[in-house]
Amino acid sequence: GAGVSQSPSNKVTEKGKDVELRCDPISGHTALYWYRQSLGQGLEFLIYFQGNSAPDKSGLPSDRFSAERTGGSVSTLTIQRTQQEDSAVYLCASSPGTTTTDTQYFGPGTRLTVL
């Protein structure tokens, strides 16, 4: 079946502009995660959704970052007033959401460049 998809694959924006990144999880997966990966670095957790609620937002770096999920499926990560340090690859992952099936499946990522 279809895997996790993300759009756009690349986004170039100017400092101060807002951007929206989209994630389509695997059908039926109730858990959805956003991570950020800077060049040559590991993955930094941003936020976790279970259904439409976000029980863990602890990784969001500032109040310029927000995310929502509607209908228990698609999620949007919004970055307001982008800064150059926001440049990174933003990865989305989904998992079935039960405690015995922890495997996370990643999307291809959105490469964000803030000029």
Q: Which is nearer to other proteins, 7 or 44 (CB)?
A: 44
DSSP assignment, residue 60?
-
Pairing status of strand 53-56 against strand 5-7:
unpaired
Q: How far is the CB of 85 from other proteins (least distance, A)?
A: 18
Place of tokens 């959704």: 49
d(CA 14, CA 84): 9
| Binding flag, residue 45, other proteins (CB under 8 A) | yes
Contact positions with other proteins (CB under 8 A) in 2-31: 31
User: Which residues contact other proteins by CB under 8 A?
Assistant: 31, 33, 35, 41-45, 48, 50, 55-56, 91, 95, 97, 99, 102-109
